[in-house]
Amino acid sequence: MTGTQMSSIGFVGLGLMGEGFTRRLVETGHAVTGFDLDPGKTRAAATWGVIPAASAAEVARVCDITLVCVINTAAVEDATLGPRGIASVEIAGKVIVDHSTTELDATKRIAAALAEKGTHFVDAPVSGGPGAAKAGTLAIMAGGPDAAIERIAPLMRDLGTLTHMGPVGTGQATKLVNQTLVLTNYCVLAEALRLAQAYGVDAKKIPQALAAGHAGSNLLAAVFPQMITEDFAPRGFARQVLKDLEMLQGAAREKHLAMPMASQALMLYRLLVAAGHSERDASAVVTLYPKMGG
C-alpha cells in the first residue's frame, strides 16, 4: 500500500489494459468498482478484488474518480454520454479521466458536456501496454485543468509517471506523437530483424549489442524477442494499432501534415488486419516481411 488511498475509484473497461490497471489499483490499496460491456470481464475482475457494477453510470455514481479505458472513440462516448453512461447520473464535483486513445474532437465534446454537469474531465492516454499498467510504470500524458490534475495526481503516481501537457485535448495530441514514434518503430524493427537474419546474425543478441548506442530502446528490448520467436500473443491487438494509425492519419490530414513513414505503417497494418491477424499482437507485422529462402 502506497499511502495514496482514495475514497473510491471507478474503472470502466476491463480488457487487457483495464485488467492491468485494476490489478495495480487493488494491489496498491484502492477500493475499485468496475464495469465492462462484456459481463464475463466484469465477473473475472471480481476475482482480483474489483467490485462489480452493472453500468458505467453505476460506477460514476458511487465513485469520486472514474477512470475510463475502452477500445475506441465510440466506446468512450457511450461510456460517458450514452444512455447508461457517466453523464446520466449526478456527478457534480467528481473527476472523469479518459485513459483511452480518443479522437481530439470527441475529447473536447465530451469534456464540454461533462463540464455542464459540474464535472472535471482529464484526457490522459497512456503508453507502455498492459504489463506497465500492472507494474505501475505507465507513461501518462494528461490534458485538463490544473484543479483536476491536482486531484488525480496522487492516484496517478500509483500507475506511472504523469506529465501535465496543458488544457483538455493536449493529452490526446501527445498520444498521437507517441504513436507516431512507437507504431512506425514496430515496422522498422521488423525490417531490421529480417536484415539480421539474412546475413546470419544471431538476432537474439541484437538488443544487448545495441543497448548502449542510439539504437537501444525499451521497444527494441521488448519487441525484438517477440518477433524472433514469433510470439504473437496479444499485449496490444493489431486491430488497435490500425485504429490508432487511422486516427493519426485523420489528424495529419486535418493540419495538412506530411507523414510518409506513418502512412507506410498504416498500409502495413491494413494489410496485416486484412490478412486475418487482427487479434494478434502488433509485433505480428513482421510476418508481412518475407524471410530469406521463404
CATH of the domain at 254: 1.10.1040.10
Print the domain residue range for 153. 9-166
- 201's grid cell: 546474425
Do 210 and 252 belong to one domain?
A: yes
Q: Is the pLDDT of residue 267 over 90?
A: yes
- For residue 7, name the pLDDT band (cuts at 50, 70, 90): low
The per-residue pLDDT of the chain, averaged, comes to: 95
- 140's grid cell: 501518462
Do 26 and 121 belong to one domain?
A: yes
Q: Is the pLDDT of residue 2 over 60?
A: no
Q: Is the pLDDT of residue 153 over 50?
A: yes
**How crowded is residue 93: how many other Cβ atoms within 10 Å of its Cβ?**
10
Residues 234 and 13: their CA atoms lie apart, in Å, by 17
Do 124 and 218 belong to one domain?
A: no
Of 137, 166, 195, which residue sits at a domain end?
A: 166
Provide the domain count of the chain: 2
Span 269-290, average pLDDT: 97
Do 177 and 282 belong to one domain?
A: yes
Do 122 and 157 belong to one domain?
A: yes
In a domain, 4, yes or no: no
Q: What is the per-residue pLDDT across 10-45, written as a single tens digit (0 to 9) for each? A: 999 999 999 999 999 999 999 999 999 999 999 999
Supply the pTM of this predicted model: 0.91
Q: What is the per-residue pLDDT across 208-244, written as a single tens digit (0 to 9) for each? A: 999 999 999 999 999 999 999 999 999 889 999 999 9
Do 133 and 201 belong to one domain?
A: no
Q: Is the pLDDT of residue 1 over 50?
A: no
Do 13 and 154 belong to one domain?
A: yes
- CA-nearest of 43, 30, 36, 29 to 58 is 36
In a domain, 3, yes or no: no
Q: What percent of the chain has pLDDT over 70?
A: 97
Q: What is the per-residue pLDDT across 78-93, written as a single tens digit (0 to 9) for each? A: 999 999 999 999 999 9
Do 162 and 181 belong to one domain?
A: no
Query: Residue 237 phi/psi, 5° resolution?
Result: -70, 145
Residues 42 and 33: their CA atoms lie apart, in Å, by 10
Q: How far is CA 230 from CA 158, 174, 183, 205, in A?
A: 33, 31, 18, 16
SS3 (DSSP) at 11: strand
SS3 readout for 150-171: HHHHHHHHCCEEEEEEECCCHH
Do 88 and 219 belong to one domain?
A: no
- For residue 5, name the pLDDT band (cuts at 50, 70, 90): very low
